[in-house]
Each structure stands twice: as structure tokens, then as C-alpha cells.
């Protein structure tokens, strides 16, 4: 293993590298956002340099910037219409491959891109696997107008749901509210436990002012989970299989060149 990487970064890297095996020449690929998805973009940059021909559709401005820097051809969802595959990270995933996403503030674009794909693959380290969703705060994107009213409506709504906590916080960026790529705010719901993710997702999106929530239900097809020792588990929810591989890599690979 590379001495330059922590166990968590090694886990993220081997998950990303294994997920690249699902990508074929000519594919249109959704590129996720976040620290784990960044490893995927780095891996794809090396493959593109070696001759792989793909079109990437980024889910955020920062993913688009990194993809351009690495020479990955990118386009927009409006231009390509439909994707063969989306690969993204997750903040949590449960045994049914339901997800919480949005820790990076891009879950709106991520959900649109993922649902416009034939398959969605999540790459994650072992810490993201949970028996029940909810320990990670659930992001809800809301429009700035009347956000405090929207927050009050959310508080009233979650009181009737099968959740354990009720604290809601406006996400901040320093002294100012965090602003998404679409110019909206994010309210983080500290629910502790989400007993019925499907019901919760549907109910939250009925509240005026809510744009989208971070629950991804019946969207993810495969989770690739990396470990700090280089092992990866690939769980396919559609065929009901789980397989384990070991990813070996050279500590001098170009992907680590700027990590010194």
C-alpha cells in the first residue's frame, strides 16, 4: 500500500479504481461530487490519457473543473440527454442501497444525473455502510425566499415521521449561508434515525420551498466499498450478488503525484 495515503483514502481510491471496470469505451458517464468521487475523476483522467474515449457529465462546478484539468471531455445533461452510467459517492448507504447524499452540497444535480442513467454505482469506504439511514444529517435544498418559513414547516412535518431527532440547521459557509450551484440554501436535518426513508423522501418534497432532499431511494444499483487494505466488495442489488476483489497499485502511480 502507498505510504502517502491514509487507510480511508486508500479505501476511497481502490473503490474508485474498481468502479472504473464498469466503464467502456464510448460511454456517457455521470461524474459525482465529493472526496470519494474525486478519486474516480483522477482514475478516469489516467484512463483517458491512455486512450479511453468517454463523455463525462459533471454534477457540480468543482467536478467539472477537475475533469477539465485532467483532460476528460465533458458535456451537459441537456446535450447528451441520457447516460450509460453514473458513479458517485454517498454519505450513507443501507442494506437496500438507499442513500443519503448531499454532504458536498450537490445532491440536486447528483439526483437528476443519477436518475437519467441506465445504472448508478456508488463508491464508498466502509464507514458509509449503515444498518439504518439517519446518523448523517439529511440535506434538504430550499430556495432562499422564505427559508425560515420552510424550516418551520419542515420541523412540523418531521415531528410526525418515524425519526429520532428533530434539529434543523441552516448550512453555513463561514459567516454566510452556504449557496448551492443553483443559488439555494441547504437545511441539514439531524434526524438520528430514519425509520421509513421512502415515506420521508416523499413527504419532504411536498413542502413549499423545498427543492430536493438528499434521500436517494431505488436509484443506486451497485455499491463498491473499499477497505484500507486494498480489498473491495461489489454489491449488486439487482442480481443479488456480492463479490470481493483485491486492488493492487503502485505507490508511484501518477494519480498520487500532487498528494506529496
Would you name the residues annotated as active-site residues?
A: 110
Residue 142, phi then psi, degrees to nearest 5: -130, 155
The answer to whether the annotation marks 128 as part of a ligand binding site is: yes
The answer to whether the annotation marks 221 as part of a ligand binding site is: no
Rounded to whole angstroms, the Cα distance separating 172 from 158 reads 22
What DSSP assignment string belongs to 104-141? TS-HHHHHHHHHTBS-EEEEEEGGGB-SSS-SS-EEEE
The answer to whether the annotation marks 78 as part of a ligand binding site is: no
Cell matching residue 19? 468502479
Q: Is 19 helix (H, G, I), strand (E, B) or coil?
A: helix
Contact by Cβ (8 Å): 121, 19:
yes
The answer to whether the annotation marks 30 as part of a ligand binding site is: no
CA distance to 14, 131, 203, 221, per residue, from 95 (Å): 21, 6, 22, 12
The answer to whether the annotation marks 101 as part of a ligand binding site is: yes
The answer to whether the annotation marks 91 as part of a ligand binding site is: yes
The answer to whether the annotation marks 115 as part of a ligand binding site is: no
Task: Give 217's DSSP letter.
Answer: -
The answer to whether the annotation marks 89 as part of a ligand binding site is: yes
Cell matching residue 120? 448508478
Q: How far is CA 142 from the centre of its chain?
A: 19
Contact by Cβ (8 Å): 84, 118:
yes
The answer to whether the annotation marks 35 as part of a ligand binding site is: yes
Which residues, other chains included, contact 130 with Cβ-Cβ below 8 Å and sequence gap of 6+?
92, 93, 94
The answer to whether the annotation marks 51 as part of a ligand binding site is: no
The answer to whether the annotation marks 84 as part of a ligand binding site is: no
Q: Is 74 helix (H, G, I), strand (E, B) or coil?
A: strand
Alpha helices (H) in the chain, listed in sequence order: 7-19, 35-49, 61-69, 77-80, 107-115, 147-158, 197-204
Residue list for the binding site for substrate: 33-36, 88-91, 101-104, 128
Residue list for the binding site: 33-36, 88-91, 101-104, 128
Amino acid at each position: 500500500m502507498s505510504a502517502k495515503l491514509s487507510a480511508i483514502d486508500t479505501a476511497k481510491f481502490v473503490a474508485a479504481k474498481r468502479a472504473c471496470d464498469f466503464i467502456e469505451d464510448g460511454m456517457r458517464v455521470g461524474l459525482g461530487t465529493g472526496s470519494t468521487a474525486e478519486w474516480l475523476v483522477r482514475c478516469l483522467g489516467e484512463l483517458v490519457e491512455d486512450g479511453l474515449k468517454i463523455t463525462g457529465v459533471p454534477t457540480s462546478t468543482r467536478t467539472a473543473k477537475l475533469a477539465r484539468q485532467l483532460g476528460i471531455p465533458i458535456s451537459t445533461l441537456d446535450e447528451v440527454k441520457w447516460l450509460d452510467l453514473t458513479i458517485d459517492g454517498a454519505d450513507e448507504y443501507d442494506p437496500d442501497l438507499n442513500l443519503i447524499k448531499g454532504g458536498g452540497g450537490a445532491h440536486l444535480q447528483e439526483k437528476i444525473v443519477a436518475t437519467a442513467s441506465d445504472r448508478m454505482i456508488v463508491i464508498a469506504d466502509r464507514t458509509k455502510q449503515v444498518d439504518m439511514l439517519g446518523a448523517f444529517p439529511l440535506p434538504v435544498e430550499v430556495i432562499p425566499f422564505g427559508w425560515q418559513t420552510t424550516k418551520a414547516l419542515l420541523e412540523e412535518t418531521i415531528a410526525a415521521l418515524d425519526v429520532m431527532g428533530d434539529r434543523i440547521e441552516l448550512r453555513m459557509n463561514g459567516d454566510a449561508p452556504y449557496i448551492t450551484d443553483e443559488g439555494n440554501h441547504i437545511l441539514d436535518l439531524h434526524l438520528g434515525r430514519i425509520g421509513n426513508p421512502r415515506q420521508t423522501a416523499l413527504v419532504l418534497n411536498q413542502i413549499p420551498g423545498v427543492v430536493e432532499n438528499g434521500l436517494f431511494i431505488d436509484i443506486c444499483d451497485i455499491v463498491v466499498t473499499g477497505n484500507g487494505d486494498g480489498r473491495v466488495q461489489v454489491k449488486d442489488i439487482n442480481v443479488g450478488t456480492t463479490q470481493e476483489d483485491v486492488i493492487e497499485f503502485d505507490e508511484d502511480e501518477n494519480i498520487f503525484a500532487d498528494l506529496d
